[in-house]
Amino acid sequence: MIRRVGIQKIAVLAIALLAVIGVHAQQVGQQVVQRPEDISPLLYGEKIPQATLPDASGKEVDLVGAVAANPTVLVFYRGGWCPYCSLQLAGLQEALPELEKLGYQLLAISTDSPKKLRESATKEKLRYTLLSDADLELAKRFGIAYKAPKAYWGMLPKTTGGKNTELLLPVPSVFIVDQAGIIQFEYINPDFKQRLSAALLLAAAKSVRDER
């Protein structure tokens, strides 16, 4: 799902690849749904919620404060245990130098505990910041959390350090936000096997920058 008002070139390209789906809610804090297709994410033009999340070292990071420092590519992924997420993390690392040249920072948020984040950072040789939303409180406020299928119920308490008591997952998502925390671009696909390519992410980032 792509929702970006005012970036016509990116929207046309993206819609050629994926259909726009779903019904969006206008407020934060929606109830958790049973299916990824039924989420109600934040929309283009809305402000991201306040949150404090631990990074891979356990240091608490003020999300809004971090975003205020630089325009940000904010990525939600399921966890380092997900092979599609691992491929996405590696692709983001490849795109990182160009994103930084464009003036962006990259923050990736998952259900993993800080310990698991460290494992992913080491395995994939990542140079950007990973943050832990192990209880999925932030994912819920973004409107992208849903009840995990039963096949995940035994694993999630372990990978989240026991914090994912509701047994939730986030729909993998990418948001580009400005320094005021306003969403300028978003890509959300309920099919967790489909991720935004590095090429399309860079095209979107360039277009957002050029419109500022």
Q: Is 182 contained in some domain?
A: yes
Q: Is 2 contained in some domain?
A: no
Q: Is 44 contained in some domain?
A: yes
Q: Is 13 contained in some domain?
A: yes
Query: Could you give the CA distance from residue 148 to residue 32 in angstroms, rounded to a whole number?
Result: 10
Q: Is 1 contained in some domain?
A: no
Query: Could you give the CA distance from residue 80 to residue 63 in angstroms, rounded to a whole number?
Result: 21
What's the pLDDT at 32? 86
Q: What is the CATH number of the domain that holds 161?
A: 3.40.30.10
109-160 residue pLDDT tens: 999 999 999 999 999 999 999 999 999 999 999 999 999 999 999 999 999 9
Query: Could you give the CA distance from residue 56 to residue 33 in angstroms, rounded to a whole number?
Result: 29
What's the pLDDT at 96? 98
Q: Is 3 contained in some domain?
A: no
Query: Could you give the CA distance from residue 109 to residue 31 in angstroms, rounded to a whole number?
Result: 20
Pull the structure tokens for residue 1: 């799902």
Q: What average pLDDT does this structure show over 191-204?
A: 96
Pull the structure tokens for residue 112: 């993993």
The total domain count for the chain is 1
Q: Among 2-16, 22-36, 53-67, which is the least confidently predicted range?
A: 2-16
Query: Which range marks the domain in which residue 166 is found?
Result: 8-211
Query: Could you give the CA distance from residue 187 to residue 61 in angstroms, rounded to a whole number?
Result: 24
Pull the structure tokens for residue 61: 């990071």
Query: Could you give the CA distance from residue 89 to residue 83 in angstroms, rounded to a whole number?
Result: 10
Amino acid symbol at 211: E
Q: Is 41 contained in some domain?
A: yes
Rounded to two decimals, the pTM is: 0.87
